[in-house]
Amino acid sequence: MIRTLLILLVLMTPSLLEAAEKKVPQQALSSAVDYLWSQQHADGSWRSEQYAVLRSGQALTPFVLHTLLESSDSLSSDEAEKALRAVRLIVSHLDDEGALGRSDPDILEYPVYSTAYAVMAIARMQRLGYEASTEEKAELNRHLIKMGQFLRNAQFDEASGFHVGMPTYGGWGFDKAKQAGEPGHMDLAHTRRAIDAVFRSLGLPYTNDGSSARGDKACRFLAVMQKHPETFSLQPVPEGVTRPTEIPFDGGFYFSPVVLAANKGRFDDNANCWRSYATATCDGILALLAAGVPKDDERVTAAVEWLKKHTNIDYPQGVPTDHPEPWGEAIEFYHYAARAEVYRSLSFPAEDRAALAATVLKHQREDGSFMNTVSPLMKEDEPLLATALAVVALINCLP
């Protein structure tokens, strides 16, 4: 009997051994997905019990739904019904402009971010297929088009008082501009999601009249965030700092040209520029790809080279480790998710993805959930948010 078992072990093919190794992360992913489905409320929402800005479900619901829909190539009848319930909840919160996240005038739930994920989730559900009446499907499609129109109108361009001499031109922010030429909070992360929703999920023309090449305006903004030589004159400096005559182009990205304190890499006094850091660089790569920039374009390859030089999975390099606020620890799961999406999009080696998956798995709790136990600065101590980010990471790490 023992001899037979030994022979069988010797005869096991590499593919069988690989399958055995992959079983654990696949089981972990299934457990995390089950946890997220179990947390859906009867009205179809996912909402936070600890953060007021996430309590209505307008922001968490589309993000969690999109994550769950991306985790599978098909839906069971039960999952399809749950997904449709979430979509109905989303639609019930849309305003006249097609924006999500504005139901409570006192607490805005990231209108651009929420609407972008709603678009991506609904478009994904349509591709997977779902049971509903012809009338409801037609109505949902009308909402989808309206949400896309809101996102297009929310881009900072000439129609909202912005011009190419502004660092914010071509990007997106927290919401549409409240005053002509005044962006409010705006950053690379919001821009990336809007590009993804408008270009990839909907394939809408880039401008309202369809006359501009796809992604031109967005790429102008991304060039500012990548510290490109052609746009260094538009890149901001802290108050009291003399604007440099040249900024080194390292291929990496920073986060915001407006909310300077949100740049977690902080300002590099020696180089006279904002430091590139891992999560922003991942977002930059993904935004470029979503805007239609080829994978072999110099902007993409330069950013990838930066990432290959900064391979620490446990900490988003570029973020100082000695800052009074632990920003690096606060974006732990966001870092896993964004890095994994880049690894998948650009076909990084399987061993890199396996190493990232193994790092994520160390944090899984018994109920399948994840939670950032080090810092609440980015709300990753909310299990719904952290678990959804972990699922994104695992989806993109597995074959």
The pLDDT of 366-372, averaged and rounded, is 97
Higher pLDDT, 233 or 266: 266
Looking at every residue in the chain, the average pLDDT score rounds to 90
Q: Do 55 and 49 touch, CB atoms closer than 8 A?
A: yes
Q: Nearest Cα to 188, choosing from 279, 120, 270, 269?
A: 279
351 pLDDT higher than 90: yes
Residue 306, amino acid: W
Confidence of residue 300 (pLDDT cuts 50, 70, 90): very high
State the Cα angle at 225 between 260 and 62, rounded to 5°: 85
Per-residue pLDDT tens digits for 315-337: 999 999 998 899 999 999 999 99
Encoded tokens for 78: 């039960």
Note the maximum CA span of the chain.
80
The pLDDT of 347-363, averaged and rounded, is 96
Q: Residue 212 has what pLDDT?
A: 45
Output the pTM of the full model: 0.91
Orientation of helix 216-225 relative to helix 188-195, angle to 10°: 150
Q: 10 Å Cβ neighbour count for 344? A: 16
Per-residue pLDDT tens digits for 149-158: 999 999 999 9
Strands (E), the chain: 267-268, 273-274
Confidence of residue 350 (pLDDT cuts 50, 70, 90): very high
Confidence of residue 3 (pLDDT cuts 50, 70, 90): very low
Q: Residue 210 has what pLDDT?
A: 38
191 pLDDT higher than 50: yes
Q: How far apart are CA 253 and CA 247, in angstroms?
A: 13
Q: How far apart are CA 331 and CA 316, in angstroms?
A: 8
3-state secondary structure of 166: coil
Encoded tokens for 179: 């005053």
Q: Considering only 218-222, 231-235, 317-321, which range has the smallest mean pLDDT?
A: 231-235
Q: Residue 319 has what pLDDT?
A: 97
18 pLDDT higher than 70: no
Encoded tokens for 261: 């304190």
Confidence of residue 204 (pLDDT cuts 50, 70, 90): low
DSSP 330-399: HTHHHHHHHHHHHHHHTT--HHHHHHHHHHHHTT--TTS-----S--TTSTTSHHHHHHHHHHHHHHH--
1 pLDDT higher than 70: no
Q: Residue 145 has what pLDDT?
A: 93
21 pLDDT higher than 70: no
The pLDDT of 157-186, averaged and rounded, is 95
Q: Residue 103 has what pLDDT?
A: 92
Q: Residue 392 has what pLDDT?
A: 98
Residue 386, amino acid: A
82 pLDDT higher than 70: yes
Q: Considering only 31-45, 96-110, 195-209, 360-374, which range has the smallest mean pLDDT?
A: 195-209
Q: Do 130 and 75 touch, CB atoms closer than 8 A?
A: yes
Residue 368, amino acid: G
Contacts of 349 (CB under 8 A, 6+ apart): none
DSSP 229-267: GGGGGGS---TTPPPPS-----S---S-SS-GGG-TT-E
